């Protein structure tokens, strides 16, 4: 059992500004715990969590691999989230390196084919496009859930960069809702980028049916780029 | 915290800024040292993903001149220790990183770089 990170340092005020870890967060932790042995064998050097929020998931990843054996990069558009991510790292004795930016932003060119573990628990709630765009530009707590059409507008933008970011043996874990149309995400990633995928865990939580999808290159596609 | 390991992985991502957009140059920095556990394997493996000259120059900008200008072929323990210090223990807490090409300024405050772009700057 890997203990859930200590979040007792986050105040009520913090959690009004930053996503409070919920069922989706915990499902991602469970998926990572289930995959822990296989992931450790790959000796990941660079981990990147997009949309790290409280920092709970990256701190958990740090507990799986250990502080000194990987770099834990985290991004979020919400500056309160990157502040909390840094604090959650400290509280759990895992140094997290947060950057306030959208998606992989300033990291994407230097991290070409270099990310060993990529994580995204995106804003996945279906809303109209305007609501998602205004949440993105205000970069506040509404950006935690407002996902636009099919809840996929923000996720789709990251999906375009995933193949480019993943190292030859890298893995990408994505949180999704059943309404996000998981089979279509999977077939698109295979057709457009040659990434194979598998649902590693799924769970109903109240009205939401949540899944974690793991993407990786096929054994033979190597580090071939499609760009 | 902007450690030099992170700095070495950041490039300017303003729309259209695609050449000479790496490395960003530190400006008016405040630095804090924090001891970190030394893992020679990690440092050795990480080197293949880093840019040596950018690292040496960034180290100079924050006041550390311990690294040789050219990457040595042999990594002995002493050099790995130096690299560990430069990459993992020097934290830039405040200041800015500036793009050499388009002069965009990315501020750093309380250890976190703000690299959000305005709508018209996004590629
Ligand atoms: C559902 S929350 C997940 C937070 C945390 N990872 C967790 O699992 O508890 C989604 C997070 O993504 C962030 N986010 C939304 N749009 C983003 C974007 N374009 N780039 C980076 N982060 C984004 C939000 O600010 C929020 O922190
Ligand atoms: Zn630039």
List all residues whose CB is within 6 A of at least one atom of ligand 1. Answer: A 19, 21, 24-25, 28, 50-54, 56-57, 75-78, 81, 102-103, 121-123, 136, 143-144, 154
* pLDDT score recorded for residue A219: 59
Q: Which of A24, A28, A77, A152 to mutate to test the pocket of ligand 1 (most atoms within 8 A of CB)?
A: A77
For A5, the token pair is 């990170």
Residues B107-114: contacts with CB under 8 Å, at least 24 apart:
B108/B2, B108/B29, B110/A83, B110/A86, B111/A86, B111/B1, B111/B2, B112/A79, B112/A82, B112/A83, B112/A86, B112/A98, B112/A99, B112/A100, B112/B1, B112/B2, B113/A99, B113/A100, B113/B2, B113/B10, B114/A79, B114/A100, B114/A101
Ligand number nearest to the C-alpha of A59: 1
* pLDDT score recorded for residue B122: 82
- Would you write out chain A's pLDDT as a tens digit for each of its 227 residues? 899 999 999 999 999 999 999 999 999 999 999 999 999 999 999 999 999 999 999 999 999 999 999 999 999 999 999 999 999 999 999 999 999 999 999 999 999 999 999 999 999 999 999 999 999 999 999 999 999 999 999 999 999 999 999 999 999 999 999 999 999 999 999 999 999 999 999 999 999 999 999 999 975 444 444 43
Structural domain harbouring A116:
45-219
User: Which of A68, A100, A109 lies closest to B115 in CB terms?
Assistant: A100
Domain count, chain A: 1
pLDDT tens digits along B62-110: 999 999 999 998 899 999 999 999 999 999 999 999 999 999 999 999 9
ipTM at complex level: 0.97
* pLDDT score recorded for residue A1: 85
* pLDDT score recorded for residue A221: 44
- C-alpha distances (whole Å) from A144 to each of A123, A136, A149, A180, B102 are 5, 9, 15, 16, 31
Report the CATH number at residue A126: 3.40.50.150
Question: What is the DSSP pairing of strand A195-205 with strand A166-177?
Answer: unpaired
pLDDT tens digits along B9-67: 999 999 999 999 999 999 999 999 999 999 999 999 999 999 999 999 999 999 999 99
Q: DSSP letters along A23-43, please?
A: HHHHHHHHHHHHHHHHHHHT-
Which residues 92-111 on chain B approach chain A with CB closer than 8 angstroms? 106, 110-111
User: Are A97 and B113 within 8 A, CB to CB?
Assistant: no
Q: Is residue A28 part of a domain?
A: no
Q: Which site among A45, A66, A68, A113 would you substitute to test the B interface, given the most B Cβ atoms closer than 10 Å to its Cβ?
A: A68
For B56, the token pair is 């040496």
Query: What are the b/e assignments for A166-182, b being 16+ CB within 10 Å?
Result: bbeebbbbbbbbeebeb
* pLDDT score recorded for residue A218: 77
3-state secondary structure chain B: CEEHHHHCCCCCCECCCCCCCCCCEEEEEEEEECCCCCCHHHHHHHHHHCCHHHHHHHHHHCCCCCCCCCCCCCCCHHHHHHHHHHHHHEEEEEEEEECCCCCCEEEEECCEEECCCCHHHEC
* pLDDT score recorded for residue B99: 98
Rounded distance between C-alpha atoms, residue B20 and residue B91, angstroms: 24
For residue A202, how far is its CA from the centre of ligand 1 (angstroms)? 20
pTM confidence score: 0.96
For residue B93, how far is its CA from the centre of ligand 1 (angstroms)? 24
Q: Which site among A99, A165, A169 would you substitute to test the B interface, given the most B Cβ atoms closer than 10 Å to its Cβ?
A: A99
Q: Is residue A16 part of a domain?
A: no
- DSSP class of residue A141 equals G
For residue B60, how far is its CA from the centre of ligand 1 (angstroms)? 35
User: Are B12 and A106 within 8 A, CB to CB?
Assistant: yes
* pLDDT score recorded for residue A227: 36
Closest chain B residue to A134, measured at CA: B119
User: Was domain B2-114 assigned CATH 2.20.25.10?
Assistant: yes
Ligand number nearest to the C-alpha of B105: 2
Q: Is residue A202 part of a domain?
A: yes
Longest Cα–Cα distance of chain A, Å, equals: 49
Q: Is residue A76 part of a domain?
A: yes
Backbone φ and ψ for A205, nearest 5 degrees, come out as -130, 100
């Amino acid at each position: 059992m890997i203990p859930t990170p200590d979040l007792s340092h986050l105040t009520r005020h913090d959690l009004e500004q930053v996503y409070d870890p919920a069922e989706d967060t915990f499902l991602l932790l469970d998926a990572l715990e289930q995959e822990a042995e296989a992931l450790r064998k790959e000796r990941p050097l660079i981990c990147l969590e997009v949309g790290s929020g409280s920092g709970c998931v990256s701190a958990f990843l740090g507990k799986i691999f250990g502080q000194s054996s990987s770099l834990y990069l985290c991004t979020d558009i919400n500056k309160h989230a990157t502040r909390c991510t840094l604090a959650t790292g400290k509280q759990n004795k895992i140094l997290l390196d947060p950057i306030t930016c959208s998606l992989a932003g300033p990291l994407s060119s230097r991290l070409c084919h270099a990310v060993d573990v990529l994580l995204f628990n995106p804003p996945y709630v279906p809303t109209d496009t305007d609501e998602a765009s205004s949440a993105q530009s205000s970069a506040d707590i509404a950006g935690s859930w407002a996902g636009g059409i099919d809840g996929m507008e923000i996720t789709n933008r990251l999906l375009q960069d995933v193949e480019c970011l993943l190292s030859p043996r890298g893995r990408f874990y994505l949180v999704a809702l059943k309404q996000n149309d998981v089979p279509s995400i999977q077939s698109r990633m295979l057709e457009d980028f040659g990434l194979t995928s598998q649902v590693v865990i799924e769970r109903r939580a109240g009205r939401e049916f949540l899944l974690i999808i793991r993407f990786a290159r096929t054994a033979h596609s190597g580090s071939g780029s499609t760009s | 915290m902007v450690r030099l390991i992170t700095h070495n992985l950041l490039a300017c991502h303003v729309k259209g800024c695609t050449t000479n957009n790496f490395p960003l140059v530190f400006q008016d920095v405040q630095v804090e040292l924090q001891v970190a556990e030394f893992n020679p394997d990690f440092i050795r493996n990480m080197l293949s993903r880093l840019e040596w000259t950018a690292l040496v120059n960034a180290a100079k900008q924050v006041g550390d001149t311990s690294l040789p200008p050219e990457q040595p072929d042999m990594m002995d323990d002493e050099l790995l220790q130096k690299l560990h210090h430069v990459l993992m223990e020097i934290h830039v807490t405040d200041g800015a990183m500036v793009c050499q090409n388009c002069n965009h300024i990315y501020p750093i405050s309380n250890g976190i770089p703000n690299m959000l772009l305005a709508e018209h700057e996004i590629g």
